[in-house]
Copies of this chain bind each other. A is one copy, B any other.
Amino acid sequence: MRHFEIQLDELRKKLLEMSGLVESSITRSVLSLVEKDEEQVRQVMENEVRINRMQIEIDDLATGLLALQQPMATDLRFITSSIKINSDLERMGDHAVNIAERARSLMHEPTIKPLIDLPHMAKLVESMLRESLEAFIKRDASLARNVLKSDDAVDQMRDTIYDELVQYMEAEPSGIRGCIHLMFVARNLERIADHATNIAEDVVFLVEGADVRHHAEAFK
């Protein structure tokens, strides 16, 4: 059973490492947009290669644990949750790549507006990612519920950003294409928050056995 514990620990470490990479990608993608910094775009693309490689490693490790160790109850739930979280993390990374690609499209265009709200939204989304992973590793359901609460704040920020962008477009039709890029950046950040929410819901389920996935409202 000792070997099994070592492998479980390896799985935990790899998930944390992957989540660190994804967080770095989110930060860099928004930075590349705000500072028009091509180097940050390049870093996001480099991270993406590593994230994709880690996704396969983690999947193989988890599937191997299921196949060879035949774990029961708690460990089984931990491993199947790892498979889901792995997929959530990889998709968050994809959203960061989308943001970096939009940053690249806007790199040589005039700046549309000060973009103050997007970095603010990104910070909150990054903290949701960090907390959801911490909640998973520590099996901390109350920390996971914090993440669920933050999701509402993210939705509000998105609404504010949308409204400002629509007003800008109505006043300045020549800026429509640029504004649509920014609108999709806000959408990508919102989707990253949704994935963090998925992870947090998995944690509550894992710890308390309650299935919050489709009645999360009750826990907010």
| B-binding residues in A (CB < 8 A) | 52-53, 55-56, 63, 66-67, 70, 72-73, 76-77, 80, 83-84, 87, 162, 166, 169-170, 173-174, 176-177, 180, 183-184, 187, 211, 213-214
Q: Which of A84, A162, A180 has the most CB of B within 10 A?
A: A180
* Smallest CB separation, A122 vs chain B (Å): 20
Chain B residues whose CB sits within 8 angstroms of the CB of A53 once the complex forms: 214
Chain B residues whose CB sits within 8 angstroms of the CB of A214 once the complex forms: 52-53, 55-56
- Judged by DSSP, the binding face of A is helix
So how many copies of this chain end up in the complex? 2
Chain B residues whose CB sits within 8 angstroms of the CB of A184 once the complex forms: 187
A211 to B52, CA, bound (A): 11
Q: Contacts A87-B87, A166-B176 hold; do A80 and B66 have CB atoms under 8 A apart?
A: yes
Chain B residues whose CB sits within 8 angstroms of the CB of A211 once the complex forms: 56
- Name A170's closest neighbour in chain B (CB-CB): B173
A53 to B63, CA, bound (A): 26
User: Among B70, B173, B183, which residue has its beta carbon within 8 angstroms of that of A180?
Assistant: B183
Chain B residues whose CB sits within 8 angstroms of the CB of A56 once the complex forms: 211, 213-214
User: Among B55, B66, B180, which residue has its beta carbon within 8 angstroms of that of A76?
Assistant: B66
A183 to B166, CA, bound (A): 13
A166 to B178, CA, bound (A): 11
In the A-B complex, the 3 residue pairs with the closest CB atoms: A52-B214, A70-B70, A170-B173
Q: Report yes or no: B170 in contact with A176, Cβ–Cβ below 8 A.
A: yes
A162 to B176, CA, bound (A): 12
* Smallest CB separation, A198 vs chain B (Å): 8
Chain B residues whose CB sits within 8 angstroms of the CB of A84 once the complex forms: 83-84, 87
Q: Which of A53, A83, A173, A174 has the most CB of B within 10 A?
A: A173
* Smallest CB separation, A121 vs chain B (Å): 17
Chain B residues whose CB sits within 8 angstroms of the CB of A72 once the complex forms: 67
Q: Contacts A87-B84, A176-B166 hold; do A76 and B52 have CB atoms under 8 A apart?
A: no
Further 7 A-B residue pairs, CB within 8 A, beyond A52-B214, A83-B83: A56-B213, A66-B66, A67-B73, A83-B84, A166-B177, A173-B173, A176-B176
